Amino acid sequence: MEELVKLRKFYELKKVYRQNSVGKRKESSAEHTWSCLILADYFLSIMKTKIDRLKVYELLMYHDVVEIYAGDTPIHKKEQKKSQKQRELDSLNRLKHEVPKILKTKFIDLVNEYEENKTKEAKFAKAIDKLDAQMHELDYKKDWKGWTEKLLRELIQYHFTEFPELNKGFEGLITYAKENGYFNQRRWI
**How does the average pLDDT of the chain come out, rounded?**
91
CATH for 2-179, options being 1.10.3720.10, 3.20.20.80, 1.10.3210.10, 3.30.70.100: 1.10.3210.10
Q: Which of 40-44, 90-94, 118-122 has the lowest mean pLDDT?
A: 90-94
Confidence of residue 146 (pLDDT cuts 50, 70, 90): confident
**pLDDT tens for each residue of 8-22:** 999 999 998 888 878
Helix (H) or strand (E) holding 18: strand 17-22
CB neighbour class for 151 (10 Å; exposed up to 12, middle 13-18, buried from 19) = middle
What is the signed CA dihedral for 129, 71, 107, 7, rounded to 10 degrees?
-120
**pLDDT tens for each residue of 91-112:** 899 999 999 999 999 999 999 9
* pLDDT for position 159: 96
Amino acid at the residue 179: E
Average pLDDT, integer, range 60-84: 82
Cβ(28)–Cβ(8) under 8 Å? no
CB neighbour class for 120 (10 Å; exposed up to 12, middle 13-18, buried from 19) = middle
Does the pTM of the predicted model rise above 0.95? no
Best CA proximity match to 29, nearest among 15, 8, 10 = 15
What three-state secondary structure class fits 180?
coil
Give the start-to-end residue ranges of the domains of the chain. Answer: 2-179
C-alpha 26, offset from chain centre:
15
Most confident of 4-18, 82-96, 120-134: 120-134
More confident residue, 172 or 183: 172
Confidence of residue 186 (pLDDT cuts 50, 70, 90): low
